[in-house]
Structure 1
């Protein structure tokens, strides 16, 4: 039985990497077990780890669900100077999405539910406010 998930990205400079991910995630790490390593619990049971090691360029993308992808894209362009990224959609896919890179080559992205009722239902399930 799988009950939690972690995903790790590698950065060559931990101080810069931690600050960059704090900005992307809008929060400080939830856990710093030792030097060169930080973890954020994104939603219950889902962790992002940032580790100071040789980056593995081109891995991912790890995409984070957001309520407004356009607003998040504008925020990161302004606050982190990331390159403008395209937002995609397809009629058969219930979300729109876009991808970008961190300064170490890790592929990240956002996605947003098109059906806002479905989005709220997912949020409620994740935070434990309703049953599936």
Structure 2
């Protein structure tokens, strides 16, 4: 069975958010469906998009699981963004949480060290 994902995040200021997400995700959007929506392909058939919607901005919570959390966090730091918080769960799983300008939470999770 194949699973595709198309997860969205509402933002207040499209241009500011697009620049911030390009830095956090490490690439420019894969495509721009409209003047207020940008889409990144995280993996085959797995997309994250932002869309301008001031009324609903700031309430998203997303976590992206990666094989090498430390490398991912280091690459994001090289682009000038540090995690707002870090978490380690009882089973050793770890998470670095970033907050966009609207307060939306984007986390990267990874296995124990």
Name the structure 2 match of 1:109: 107
TM-score by length of 1: 0.69
- 1:2 deviates by 7.1
Name the structure 1 match of 2:9: 9
- 1:83 deviates by 5.2
- 1:76 deviates by 3.8
Q: 1:84 to 1:56 in 2, by over 3 A?
A: closer
Structure with more relative contact order (C-alpha pairs < 8 Å, separation 6 or more):
2
Does the 8 A contact of 1:37 with 1:49 survive in 2?
yes
Taking the aligned partners of 1:78 and 1:103, their CA distance within structure 2 comes to 19
Taking the aligned partners of 1:25 and 1:83, their CA distance within structure 2 comes to 13
Which protein is bigger by CA-based radius of gyration? 1
Name the structure 2 match of 1:58: 59
CA-atom RMSD in angstroms = 2.5
Taking the aligned partners of 1:37 and 1:6, their CA distance within structure 2 comes to 13
Tell me, which stretches of 5 or more residues in structure 1 are unaligned? 116-132
Does the 8 A contact of 2:32 with 2:38 survive in 1?
yes
Deviations 1:76-129 (A, max 9, x none): 4563444542231322x6x322323111111110111238xxxxxxxxxxxxxx
Name the structure 2 match of 1:99: 97
TM-score by length of 2: 0.79
